[in-house]
Every structure is written in C-alpha cells, then in structure tokens.
C-alpha cells in the first residue's frame, strides 16, 4: 500500500501507464474538487459562518496529504511561546483516535487519554509538551472555549487546521514539503492536493520544510508568489537531537554511528526518515515501512523481529514509539529518533508569530 502511494501519488512525473491506471481516480477528483470549492465560496460569502474565539488563534496546516512536519512545528511553537510567557493550548482533530466524550488529552501535567483514544500525534504532543494542554475533537471552537475556561490560556494552536474553516484564525501558517511540493498539481484522490492551489491565498505565511540549503531559491517559491505575491516564505529543516528508549531514557546520537540499523516507520514520508538516520551515521541494512498512523499488531511485531535479525538496533520515529511501547521489544533494542524543527530565518519567523499577541 505504502509503495503504491509513493509511486503513483507523490511522484511529480508519472509514466503513461501510471497515468492510465490513475485515470479512474481523476474522475473521482472532479466531484471532490467541486465540493471543496463550494465550501470555500460559502464561507467567503458568509453563507456559512466562521466563529471567532476571544484570543489569538494560530493554525499550522498544509495543502497536501502526508507529512509536511505540522506536528513538530506545533510543538516547537508551543514551547517557544511558553518560554516567552505566553500560555497556549493545542487543539487537534485527533486523526484515527476513538470517539470519546473527554476532549482533554492532557492538562499539561497529567495524561487523561491513551493514544488509542486521542490518536498518535495528539498523544505524542501531550507527552512532549509539558505545561501545555492538548485537546482533541472535531469541534475546535468548543474545545477552544474549554481550553480558555479550564486552563486560562492566552492563545490556541491548531494542529492541521488550514482546512478547518469554521474557526477564525489570526495567523495561517502553511507548510509545504520542499521535496514533493504539490505533487503533479492534481486533487485527491487522483493526486495529493487537499484543495485547489488558488486557496493558497488564505495563508498568511509559508514554511518550506526539509530545506538543507536556504540560500538556494526553490522553484516552489515562484509558484507560491504567482498565486500569493505578498506572502513571506520561510525555510526549515529537521535536526536530530537524541535517541529515546521505551522508558524515555535518552542516548547520544553518536551511540549508533556505524551500527547496523532496521529503520522502522509508519509515517507518510519514510524516505525522509531514512535520510535523517543516514545523516546521523547509521547503516540502514533493512527497512520496515507501514502506512501513516498505522496501529501495530502482534503479527506486525513478529514480522519486525524477523526483519531485525542481525541488526544492532531498530530505530523508529517518536510517533511510532508511542504505539510500540505496549510491546516487549528488547531484542534487538528499539530507539526513537528525536528531532527538532529548525527555522533558518528563526528571528523573522517568530517576530511574525508574536505580532498576533500584541
């Protein structure tokens, strides 16, 4: 499944055979695109109402399916704002979480929901962001009210909020993966676009992710400015920080330099994860790749252990480690790669963010 998605959707250039195979999906993308455009127009003409909360709201989102780094940026923003004395809560949709009447994943100190209930990303954010409440649910307006009343926060961060039009936001940050861009510019389910490119105009600023060389003008910047000439474009990359064990024990990155590794991931862009491991000097001898947000089973564990024979360590993502902790995996040992988002124009970027709190 993951192979087919990578081959047929994320690649910008497709062969004639691939285009033929995808042609039925193009027909399905027409009603999808029509529905998205109609919804946008209904909000633009105020036939559908956008509700505002009495505090600054910052949305972090994207235009494509798959991982562009929204969750790591939300965590980085929340921690940065907290260091500046601005308390915020994180509001997430809770993708693949179970329905629950309790929207609070964490009050910043105590975890109230499991990863099965909240979804893997909200649970990861709740564990990683001490002192920052995390809430999940479809109705982010109501959850925002709960956060304001119960925790007295001064602002709200929407994780994956660009398409959540019912809630007004003061700042729309749109992330774009510099490697895959907008794919071949076609809408779901034929392509990877969640909205037409003209909807880029809703964004207040753009962040190109996975940019190792910010000095080079990326072709995506020209595309962005053709549609939204006045919007600033910033650049970021991932920086590996440490290795994390099943009990949250931290190890130095260099402890696995030159070691034989099984790279295990259930994320949208497994190639990006493997590149980070190689950057840390690890020798990837095998890979175990699962779909994004995959919930691991005992059968998966058996398959992973077979692939892990002869390796020195299994290295996975923090999002996957959240779900793997329920299993006894110590032979070979399992470690998660902890990363930070580093913005090349950090000062200018956070100046823009801080403006909404003035």
Do 105 and 218 belong together in one domain? yes
The string of pLDDT tens digits covering residues 274-287 is: 999 999 999 999 99
Q: Place 8 in a pLDDT band, splitting at 50, 70 and 90.
A: low
More confident residue, 332 or 101: 332
- Tell me the pLDDT tens digit for each residue of 200-247: 999 999 999 999 888 778 999 999 999 999 999 999 999 999 999 988
According to the model, what pLDDT value does residue 188 have? 94
Average pLDDT over residues 115-127: 94
The Cα 37–Cα 31 span in angstroms is 10
Same domain, 81 and 203: yes
Q: Alpha-carbon distance 287 to 263, whole Å?
A: 5
**What is the reported pLDDT for 101?**
76
Residues 6+ apart with CB under 8 A from 332: 262, 308, 311, 312, 313, 314
* 212 and 245 both lie in a single domain: no
Query: What average pLDDT is seen over the chain?
Result: 93
For the chain, what percent of residues have pLDDT higher than 90?
Answer: 82
Can you read off the two tokens belonging to residue 155? 């602002």
What pLDDT is stored for residue 6 in this prediction? 47
Gap between the Cα atoms of 320 and 125, Å rounded? 13
Residues 252 and 202 grouped into a single domain: no
In this structure, is residue 7 part of a structural domain? no
Q: Tens digit of pLDDT for each residue in 305-334? A: 999 999 999 999 999 999 999 898 888 999
Residue 112 lies inside a defined structural domain of this protein: yes
Given this model, what pLDDT does residue 1 score? 37
Confidence class for position 10, pLDDT limits 50, 70, 90: low
Question: Is 163 found in the same domain as 67?
Answer: yes
For the segment 79-95, the average pLDDT, to the nearest whole number, is: 95
Compute the average pLDDT of residues 341-350: 97
- In this structure, what DSSP letter does residue 101 have? S
Question: Can you give the pLDDT at residue 223?
Answer: 95
Q: Which domain holds residue 91?
A: 57-238+342-357
What's the pLDDT score for residue 2? Answer: 40
Task: Identify whether 33 is part of a domain.
Answer: no
DSSP 70-93: HHHHHHHHHHHHHHTT--EEEEE-
Q: What is the mean pLDDT of residues 262-270?
A: 93
With 0-12 CB in 10 A as exposed, 13-18 as middle and 19+ as buried, what is 155? buried
What is the 3-class SS of 106-150, one letter each residue?
A: ECCCCECCCHHHHCHHHHHHHHHCCCCCEEECCCHHHHHHHHHHH
Q: 258 and 204: one domain? A: no
CA 174/CA 161 separation, integer angstroms: 9
Report the domain count for the chain. 2
Domain membership flag for residue 31: no
- Give pLDDT, residue 67: 81
Q: What is the pTM of this model?
A: 0.93
CATH of the domain at 286: 3.40.50
- What was the pLDDT predicted at 9? 65
pLDDT-derived band at 21 (thresholds 50, 70, 90) equals confident
Task: Identify whether residues 131 and 164 lie together within a single domain.
Answer: yes
Q: Is residue 18 over pLDDT 80?
A: no
Confidence of residue 269 (pLDDT cuts 50, 70, 90): confident
Q: Are residues 201 and 84 in the same domain?
A: yes
206 and 63 within one domain: yes
Query: How far apart (Å, rounded) are the C-alpha atoms in residues 260 and 232?
Result: 42
The domain that holds 185 is classified in CATH as 3.40.50.300
Q: How many CB atoms lie within 10 A of CB 31?
A: 9
Top pLDDT among 11 and 118 is at 118
Same domain, 268 and 206: no
Q: Are residues 226 and 331 in the same domain?
A: no
């Amino acid at each position: 499944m993951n192979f087919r998605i990578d081959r047929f959707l994320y690649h910008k250039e497709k062969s004639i055979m691939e285009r033929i195979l995808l042609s039925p999906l193009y027909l399905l993308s027409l009603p999808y695109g029509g529905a998205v455009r109609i919804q946008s127009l209904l909000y633009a003409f105020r036939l559908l109402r956008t509700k505002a909360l009495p505090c600054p709201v910052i949305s972090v989102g994207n235009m494509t399916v798959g991982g562009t780094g929204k969750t790591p940026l939300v965590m980085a923003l929340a921690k940065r704002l907290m260091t500046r004395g601005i308390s915020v809560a994180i509001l997430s949709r809770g993708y693949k979480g179970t329905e629950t009447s309790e929207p609070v994943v964490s009050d910043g100190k105590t975890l109230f929901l499991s990863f099965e209930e909240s979804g893997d990303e909200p649970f990861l954010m709740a564990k990683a962001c001490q002192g920052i409440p995390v809430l999940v649910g479809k109705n982010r307006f109501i959850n925002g009210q709960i956060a304001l009343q119960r925790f007295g926060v001064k602002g709200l961060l929407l994780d994956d909020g660009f398409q959540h039009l019912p809630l007004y936001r003061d700042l729309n940050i749109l992330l774009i993966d510099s490697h895959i861009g907008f794919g071949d510019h076609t809408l779901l389910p034929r392509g990877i676009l969640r909205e037409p490119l003209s909807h880029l105009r809703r964004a207040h600023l753009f962040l190109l992710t996975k940019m190792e060389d910010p000095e080079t003008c990326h072709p995506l910047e020209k595309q962005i400015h053709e549609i939204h000439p006045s919007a600033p474009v910033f650049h970021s990359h991932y920086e590996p920080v440490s290795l994390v064990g099943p009990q949250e024990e931290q190890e130095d990155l260099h402890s696995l330099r030159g070691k034989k590794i099984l790279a295990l991931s259930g994320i949208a862009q497994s190639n990006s994860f493997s590149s980070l491991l190689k950057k840390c000097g690890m020798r990837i001898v095998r890979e175990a790749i699962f779909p994004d947000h995959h919930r691991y089973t005992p059968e998966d564990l058996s398959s992973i252990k077979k692939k892990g024979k002869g390796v020195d360590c299994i290295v996975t993502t923090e999002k996957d480690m959240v779900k793997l902790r329920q299993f006894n995996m110590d032979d070979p040992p399992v470690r998660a790669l902890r990363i930070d988002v580093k913005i090349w124009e950090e000062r200018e970027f956070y100046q823009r963010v801080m403006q909404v709190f003035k």
